[in-house]
Amino acid sequence: MKKNILPRDNSLVVLPVLILAIGLFFIYSASWREGMPLDQSLVLRQSLWMLFAVLLTLASLRFHYRLLVEIAWPLYGISLVLLVIVLFMPARLGARRWIDLGFFNFQPSELGKFSTILLLAAWMKENRFEDSTKKKLLTPFLLMAVPTLLVLKEPDLGTALIFVPVLFAMLYVWGFRLKWITLMFLAAVLITPFLFTHLKDYQKSRIEIFLDPSLDPFGAGYTIIQSKIAVGSGGLLGKGFMSGTQTQLQFLPEKHTDFIFAVIGEEGGFLSVLFVLFCYWTIVYKGFRIAQKCNNRFGQLLATGITTLLAFQAIVNMAMTTGLVPVVGMPLLLVSYGGSSLVITMFLIGVLVNIGMHRDPFF
C-alpha cells in the first residue's frame, strides 16, 4: 500500500499555494504591458517557479527532516562561498545580490537564511545549553554573524536584519532566559546611534525619509509616498483588478516586487489585505504550534527558526509598504516576483510540515 506523503492537516500546504495564486494575479496586474510577448511575461516565469516550488515542497515531505542534520555544515559552507562570490558580481541598482546563471538570477542570501537556521538548530541540538561554557555560548552569535556581515556587504540591510529575531527566538528555545535576551535588545538600542554613523549614505537617507518622506518627495521619499497613497486609496473593496491608478499609471515603483502589497491594497482593498494577513497569521500560528508540540530538540529549534523567519519577513515587508518602518528592500513572501525567494520559502514550509508529520522521542 502506497504511503500518503500529505499531512493530515493540509492547511500548511494549501494556504501557501493560495497565497501564490493571489500573487500571480497581482504580478500580472503590476507588470502587464500591451503587446507584451508571452515568453516575456513575468506571470509565466513566476508560474514556472511556482510549479517547481510546489513539487519541491512535496518532495521535502518524502524524507525525515532529521536527515537535514547531515548537510548542515556543508550547506552552510556552500552558502558562505556563494555569498562571497556574489560580492564580485556586477552591481544592479547599487547592490550585488544576484549571481547570473544565464536562465535565471540566483540570490545566495535566500539560501544563506535557510542554511544558517539549519546549522544553528543542528549545533544547539548537539550542545545542551545547561552544559555550555561562556565561550561556547558565543558560538551561535558567531555562526549568525558571518552570513549577516556578508549580506550587509552586498548591501542588503533588510535580509541582514532578519537574522537577528531568528537567532533570539532560537536562543530562547535553546535555554536563554528572556531577561538576557531583553538586556541584549536594550544594549542594541543603546548602540544604535553609534551604528547610524557607520551606515552608508543611502541607508541613512532611508531612515531620514522614513521619519519624514516630504524631505525628498521626488527622490528617496517618492516610493513610500506613492505606496501609502495606493494602499489608502483602495478603500474597503479596492478599485478592482487592473484598475489601480497608482499601479497602472506607473506612479508606484517596484510594484511587482518589494511593493506588491500596495497593489493588493489599492486594487483589492482592505478586505483583500485582511485575507492575506489571515493566511500569513495562520501559517505562522501553525508553525509555532508545530514547534511547541515537537518532541525532538532539533525539530523544535528548526521549526522555531523557520517560523520566526516567515513571520518577520512578512511583517517587515507590509510595515515597510505602509510606512511603519524604513524601506529596506524586502520581498513579500510567496507574493512578490522572484524565483529564489519563492523556491526557498516553499521548501522551508515543506520542512515545517515535515516536522509536524513526525513525532519523535525528545533528545
Q: Where are the domains of the chain?
A: 11-28+41-357
DSSP H helix total and E strand total for the chain: 15, 2
**For 91, which DSSP code?**
P
Which pLDDT score, from 0 to 100, does residue 193 have? 63
Spans of the chain, pLDDT less than 50? 1-3, 362-363
What span, in angstroms and rounded, lies between the C-alpha atoms of 161 and 143? 15
* Total Cβ atoms within 10 A of residue 349: 25
Neighbour-count burial of 211, counting CB atoms closer than 10 A to its CB (0-12 exposed, 13-18 middle, 19+ buried): exposed
Amino acid at 97: R
3-state secondary structure of 257: coil
Which pLDDT score, from 0 to 100, does residue 349 have? 93
Which pLDDT score, from 0 to 100, does residue 211 have? 65
Which pLDDT score, from 0 to 100, does residue 28 have? 87
List b or e across 56-95, with b for residues whose CB sees 16 or more CB atoms inside 10 angstroms: ebeebbeeebbebbeebeebbeebbebbeebeebeeeeeb
